[in-house]
Structure 1
């Protein structure tokens, strides 16, 4: 069965009791497509069904019994980072993320296996240390007892926002996300490699999706002049694990800039964690004979792309004075 399920599906009415109340709001969507420009998932995948508009059409079809729910549809509904760019900028005022949350709850109640951009936990690797639980601002992670008088970490798939803070904090690597949305550690590693292998690229910029997107949506446009830096839009500055920064240096980067939203504006409280991590990471860099000034952390409010460009320009001048990192300094001590 394809992505739209089976049309004119008429049985099992009432399965969308939470979502049904949003039918009037769904009818307000004028299909303008402006949400395309604001959606990081669409930038990554370029599928209509990954856009807010596409998801609303699927939900409308399901609650009106015109489309039969399928696993493929469920995967699309659960692919959302809840950045709220679509809801906050919708000209029709459709509460998109609220509708998605109710649709998620309805689909889970119907027994579908869900993943999307939410996190999953490998119980064989998880030691139930509990580090991840207080990290989640949305209380999507809890410790619950099992039948064998043990405990396990449980993910609330409705509340999980897919920010990935728990992924970067897990000491055993037990928490992961599905590949395909450019948020997993391997995918981010690959993005770093893609940037550094380009001629003239010296600086890797990890920019927070919430504060800098969509201002950076054209950052990789081929129409722009070549720059000595590359930008990776991350779901949260707290998602930038130390290993990503070390990997950037190992690949040949001269410097790394982490651009996060101001602490008082962060939806996930991830910037506090980033600040603490970078303090520790700078100490590690000293042990590796890498100047700690090669890492910079700056806060940017929404629509401050001009400020970001200014910070990048100043940082590039500093890096040009320092020059490249000697390969031997990195490869000898970072598992290279």
Structure 2
């Protein structure tokens, strides 16, 4: 799998077509996931403007600081036939872009564009309505190509390799931070370019879904929630959660963990084309609620994943969008008892033509170490 598979030349034309169809005069994509998705260029986010301009008609071009020109030309963006408009330190790149755009009435800004850039574009294009580029890119980004699914499958295998090592890191007397340090090293060793997050949540910290790590010492008999992920060199992300217990678990924990396992299984089994995204959430939530733990499941069941760890589609009540082949997302129900402990099980799942494929395959049963 090459960068041309993940970031095909045809994507730019598809984006330009979608821009025109959305009634926009241009998309303005600064460094971040939108720019990388369209071009493959993982540009540095700097105070100096780098911006891909995709007009609804006419030739796209990229504004780049002259000192960043070699990096842009060495990136996958060079395959797209783009004009690189290099600007010097005394130039105003916003004014240059505005002059080339002319009387633009509506422009789409990268969803992660810095406010300083957004406001400067507003100054130089005072008559242009600004909307999110995500409204144009959404349909393209949510439906993963076979190459993108392969990249996510590779990321899933890499993070699975780390989870298989976690039992060797966990033991009573170690701090969460010590365990987290070992996990972070393992994430890089498994082939990730970056460590995006490491959650090691022991005992009562397990009831905080987005706990990080702390100097808390792990005790015997405590559950530990381990949620980890990173980004591969190709830009695609991993994200997987497993729950462990250092010694025999408390009886009440073991009881609701089995409920959680069944809920996660039900949600994964519900994935197929045409079903509303919210029905996947309901499949997990109903199992948990029927067992009496509904108030302790305090977040959505899942989020999309690709070149961002969290992106659309979101698996949550109120999202009636039908599943389509190529949707890739997490299925991660959790149960959290404040002040006591918590548990979560998370896999990345891809909607296929006739069901769903899990991209993580480490055991989902409670792992006792």
Q: TM-score, normalised by structure 1?
A: 0.30
**Structure index of larger Rg:** 2
Flag the structure with higher helix content: 1
Higher strand residue share: 2
Give the TM-score normalised by structure 2.
0.28
